[in-house]
Amino acid sequence: QSQLVEPGGGLVQPGGSLRLSCAASGFTYYFIGWFRQAPGKAREGVSCISPTGGSTNYASSVKGRFTISRDNAKNTVYLQMNSLKPEDTAVYYCAARGLYCSDRPGSYNYWGQGTQVTVSS
């Protein structure tokens, strides 16, 4: 059964690092995106990776701080988050779609349940 599960998340101090995982069983040939949604705000695209990992996209707000990667042997997609800021606080979701990367949440067919990331001192 194909599913997306995001364990991890948590509380981290500003300037700290955190790595999110997305267990993506059954989605080896899919584009995987990371999204986030802060309270009272719309869900926004953070990053996306192609099935082979050879192509990645990042939102301008996280470029240079976040790195997306995937290990298809482990059916897992990662989001390494460095130099975290309070404005990175949100629920983070991974999602899958069969075509190209997109930053539009409505274009993704499959979603994980989300994990909370809080950046605070």
Closest by CA position to 120, among listed 80, 85, 83:
85
More confident residue, 3 or 118: 118
CB-count exposure of residue 70 (10 Å: 0-12, 13-18, 19+): buried
Predicted pLDDT of residue 114: 96
What is the pLDDT at residue 30?
A: 96
Contact 110, 4 (CB under 8 A): yes
* pLDDT tier for residue 113 given thresholds of 50, 70 and 90: very high
State the Cα–Cα distance between residues 41 and 43, nearest whole angstrom: 7
Let me know: does 53 contact 70? Beta carbons within 8 Å.
yes
Please state, in angstroms and rounded to a whole number, the distance separating the CA atoms of residues 61 and 58: 8
Q: Is the Cβ–Cβ distance between 114 and 6 less than 8 Å?
A: yes
